[in-house]
């Protein structure tokens, strides 16, 4: 597709392919020029590494599949934008209105490593109109919702974030329930161990008590014998 060209998909303008590029974040948001672009790309790489490690921890803890999928969508979307911003400047010539970018041009790409542009191509127009005259600063000016052009990576990131926001209480409740269940199992194991120790100590204590009674009975028998012997000697 040529830069800024359209392909209608649904309706006259409701949903269409619209090829543009941006230097910044999701939905065409820019960030601080060339240095900002470099910082944003490096930050994405670090964030993706940290997010990948966090997802591994969630898998090891056997967390909710919905939570893992949500973070997986965010990771996949971030990786998609990283590929664009890291390599596309080396692989393609600069795009321009009415023409096609060239893949692997002989004179080199339009940018350096980590300075590529993110490709956006999805445009969803839900509402178009004109602001009422009484709206300050915007009266009688046209408005468009949804104006930003986005890509599939943005959709994945947004879906993951929205799912976490809507169901984060359920996620955290699930985590706390798992922790509470683990604590209950640990307490039950300790209680079972204490009962087992008490059960094992019961016969030992009974044997000790029995031994004490036998010893006491023996002492009384010896005392009786001695008294009996004394009485016999006295009679003699």
- Catalytic sites, residue numbers: 120, 154
CA atoms of 59 and 178, how far apart (whole Å): 14
Torsion of CA 100, 105, 107, 113, to 10 degrees: 100
CA atoms of 232 and 222, how far apart (whole Å): 15
Supply the DSSP symbol for 97.
B
Q: Which residues are 97's β-sheet partners?
A: 3
Q: Which residues are 130's β-sheet partners?
A: 142
What CA–CA distances, in Å, run from 141 to 13, 129, 147, 180? 20, 9, 14, 57
């Amino acid at each position: 597709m040529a830069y800024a060209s359209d392909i209608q998909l649904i309706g006259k303008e409701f949903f269409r392919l619209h090829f543009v590029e941006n230097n910044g974040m999701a939905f065409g948001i820019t960030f601080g020029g060339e240095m900002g672009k470099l910082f944003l790309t490096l930050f994405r790489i670090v964030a993706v590494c940290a997010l990948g490690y966090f997802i591994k921890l969630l898998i090891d803890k056997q967390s909710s599949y919905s939570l893992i999928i949500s973070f997986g969508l965010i990771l996949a979307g971030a990786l998609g934008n990283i590929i664009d911003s890291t390599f596309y400047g080396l692989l393609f010539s600069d795009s321009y209105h009415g023409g096609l970018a060239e893949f692997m041009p002989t004179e080199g790409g339009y940018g350096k490593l980590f300075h590529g542009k993110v490709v956006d191509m999805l445009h969803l127009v839900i509402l178009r109109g004109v602001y009422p005259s009484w709206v300050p600063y915007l009266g009688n000016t046209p408005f468009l919702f949804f104006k930003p052009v986005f890509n599939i990576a943005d959709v994945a990131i947004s879906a993951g974030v929205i799912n976490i926001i809507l169901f984060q209480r359920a996620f955290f409740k699930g985590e706390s329930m798992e922790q509470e269940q683990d604590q209950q199992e640990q307490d039950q194991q300790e209680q079972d161990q204490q009962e087992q120790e008490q059960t094992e100590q019961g016969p030992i204590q009974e044997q000790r008590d029995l031994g004490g009674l036998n010893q006491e009975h023996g002492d009384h028998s010896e005392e009786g014998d001695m008294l009996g012997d004394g009485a016999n000697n006295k009679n003699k």
